[in-house]
Each structure stands twice: as C-alpha cells, then as structure tokens.
C-alpha cells in the first residue's frame, strides 16, 4: 500500500499521489496520461483527476502499478478498477493490468479463444493476484502461457499450477531450468497452432521470441515498442543484454510478416495499418543500424 509519509514531493497537492517506492515502469503514464507524468526516473501526479473517467483511469493505474506506489487521501471504491481487468484492447485480445514487480511492471496480455480455436493464451506473466486470476478463470482460464523472454516470467509457476497450462519458452533463456513444458530452439519461426506463430528474435536476450497472432497482433516483449517521442517504432539499446547487432538482425526478420498491432512488455502499444507498420519497422531498422 502506498504511504502518505513517503509521498514524492513532485506530486501536485490533492487526492492522488505517488510515493517513493515507484520503479518508473510507465504503466500509470500509459493508462492515465492526464494524471501521471515522468518527472525523471519516477512518476508523479501532475494534475489531479477532474472527471469520473479520469478518476477511474487513475484507479486503474493504482491497480496495475507493480509496486503499489499509487495512493489516495480520500476513500475510493476500487471494485470497478479491479473488474476492468483483463481489459479488452481489440477483438479478443486483452491487457491483464496487475503488473508484477518481478517483471519490472511488464505488460502481459490474454488472447481469449474457444477450446476449438486452441484455448486462451496468456502472453508473459502478470501478478498472481486472486482478483485477476478469478477474472481469467471466468474468461476460460489459460491453456497456453507464452513467455517472450526470461525477464517477464514473474508468476509463471503459479499460473501453471492454477490452470495446468502448457508454458512455452525458448531454450536459450533457460526454459529447461525453469521447468517449461514446451521448449523451442533455434531461430526458425515456428507455428504454435494455426493462428499463432513464434518468431525467435535474439538480441534483448539470447532466447527472446515474439508471438504473431492472426497476422494482426504482434506480442513483442522487450524487443520492439512504439516511441511517442520519435513517433515511430523503436528498440531499447541500453537493455540489449545479449547483443544489439543481433537484435538489429532479428528486427529485419520481422519485415517478412504483416501485423497491425505492436503489443510490448515495456514501452508503448501501437496500432496502425500493415503498410504503415512496415514503414515504421524499416525506419526502426535503419535507426538501429545507424546506432550500431
Ligand atoms: S505504475 Fe507504479 S511503479 Fe509504474 S511508474 Fe506508475 S507509480 Fe511508478
């Protein structure tokens, strides 16, 4: 729970505040940009919510925050905010909210499908919060848990135990040691089923894999995200733990595929036409080569 005593001085006066435990994951700024801002290595409230909608978004941020760093002075019911997750992004693809500190607040997603379509897929791990687990259960549970890379696995074991799902991960990120049920190897793209394609993209980590759903949704982990500052797709050079040149090479592989959504673990979501997405990807690759 956030603490008033540890309230950051950068917050404006009023109901909502961020305390000093903030790890600067960006979740609140994405969910409620009218309320939260980055003041440099942490977030704070720069404008108090003024409408019911803004209050609701600020409360959703409070629930999504991995470190419980957001607090309020007034008493609010958080029921609606809790029940808003998993939150639909488009079609049958949902954002789980409830990010985990163990994954540094990485975003995870749920693809909701019928058993005939292969069942639900949880992409990376949210916090194992009972309220979220219950909601996922109501949506049909988890058939498959796809883990993009070793940093965003958080509560994978708890989800596997609860739902008996098959966890899928690349061998080069320690899948065997972590007890994954399905281990993928090599650099060739591999179908998970008829609608899901796993594309190994070494770079951020050696065993990083992105997941393409129906040639529309690309779940990118920490490989690729939208940069609001540069208004194009980007990658994070300072956290290319394995190899930036490899990540650049992996990025070029994605030109072979169509997608309209980039859904990252860290960084911003982007939705665009397939053509625009390809143009942004080309720009990103050129930029990566130039910084190589
Ligand atoms: S969601 Fe929480 S940890 Fe992340 S930036 Fe906001 S206050 Fe900080």
pLDDT digits (tens, 9 = 90+) for 243-278: 999 999 999 999 999 999 999 999 999 999 999 999
What is the distance between the alpha carbons of residues 81 and 166, in angstroms, rounded to a whole number? 29
Ligand 1 centroid, distance to 191 Cα (angstroms): 35
Ligand 1 centroid, distance to 210 Cα (angstroms): 25
Q: How confident is the model at residue 292 (pLDDT cuts 50, 70, 90)?
A: confident
Ligand 1 mutation pick, 27, 62, 100, max ligand atoms within 8 A of CB: 27
- Protein residue with least CA distance to atom 4, ligand 1: 25
- The secondary structure element, H or E, covering residue 29 is helix 27-31
Q: What is the mean pLDDT of residues 43-60?
A: 98
- Protein residue with least CA distance to atom 6, ligand 1: 28
Dihedral pair phi/psi, residue 240, rounded to 5°: -80, 80
Ligand 1 centroid, distance to 21 Cα (angstroms): 9
Ligand 1 centroid, distance to 30 Cα (angstroms): 10
- Protein residue with least CA distance to atom 1, ligand 1: 65
Q: What is the pLDDT of residue 6?
A: 97
Residue 172 has pLDDT above 90, yes or no: yes
What atom in ligand 1 is closest to the CA of residue 105? 4
Ligand 1 centroid, distance to 228 Cα (angstroms): 18
What atom in ligand 1 is closest to the CA of residue 64? 1
- Among the listed residues 109, 114, 113, 117, the one whose alpha carbon sits nearest the alpha carbon of residue 147: 109
What atom in ligand 1 is closest to the CA of residue 23? 3
What is the distance between the alpha carbons of residues 56 and 171, in angstroms, rounded to a whole number? 41
What's the alpha-carbon Rg for the chain, to the nearest Å? 19
Residues of the chain with pLDDT > 70, as a percent, come to 100
**Mean pLDDT taken over the chain:** 97
Residue 90 has pLDDT above 90, yes or no: yes
Ligand 1 centroid, distance to 59 Cα (angstroms): 12
CB atoms within 10 A of CB 204: 30
List of E strands, 155-245: 166-170, 182-184, 190-193, 196-200, 209-213, 217-221, 225-227, 232-234
What is the value of pTM for the model shown? Answer: 0.97
- The secondary structure element, H or E, covering residue 132 is helix 130-138
Ligand 1 centroid, distance to 237 Cα (angstroms): 22
Ligand 1 centroid, distance to 19 Cα (angstroms): 9
Q: What is the pLDDT of residue 23?
A: 97
Residues with CB under 6 A from ligand 1: 18, 22-28, 43, 61, 65-67, 69-70, 105
Give exposure, 78-114, as e/b (b: 16+ Cβ within 10 Å): eeebbebbbeebeebbbbbbbbbbbbbbbbbbbbbbe
């Amino acid at each position: 729970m956030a603490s008033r005593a540890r309230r950051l001085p950068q917050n404006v006066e009023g109901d909502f505040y961020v305390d000093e435990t903030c790890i600067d994951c960006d979740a609140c700024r994405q969910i409620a940009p009218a309320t939260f801002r980055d003041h440099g290595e942490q977030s704070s409230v720069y404008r108090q919510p003024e409408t019911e909608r803004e209050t609701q978004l600020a409360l959703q941020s409070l629930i999504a925050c991995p470190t419980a760093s957001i607090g309020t002075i007034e008493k609010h019911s958080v029921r609606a905010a809790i029940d808003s997750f998993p939150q639909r992004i488009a079609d049958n693809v949902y954002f789980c909210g409830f990010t985990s500190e163990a994954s540094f607040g990485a975003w995870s997603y749920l693809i909701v499908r019928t058993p005939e379509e292969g069942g639900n897929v949880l992409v990376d791990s949210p916090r194992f919060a009972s309220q979220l687990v219950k909601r996922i259960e109501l949506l049909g549970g988890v058939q498959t848990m796809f883990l993009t890379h070793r940093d965003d696995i958080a509560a994978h074991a708890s989800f596997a135990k609860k739902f008996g799902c098959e966890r899928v991960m690349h061998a080069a990120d320690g899948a065997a040691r972590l007890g994954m049920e399905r281990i993928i190897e090599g650099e060739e793209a591999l179908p998970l089923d008829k609608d899901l394609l796993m594309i190994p993209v070494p770079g951020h980590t050696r065993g990083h894999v992105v997941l393409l759903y129906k040639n529309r949704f690309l779940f990118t982990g920490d490989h690729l995200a939208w940069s609001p500052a540069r208004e194009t797709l980007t990658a994070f050079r300072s956290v290319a733990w394995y190899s930036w040149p490899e990540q650049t090479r992996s990025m070029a592989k994605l030109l072979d595929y169509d997608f309209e959504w980039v859904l990252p673990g860290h960084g911003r979501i982007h939705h665009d036409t397939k053509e625009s997405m390809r143009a942004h990807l080309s720009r990103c690759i050129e930029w990566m080569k130039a910084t190589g």
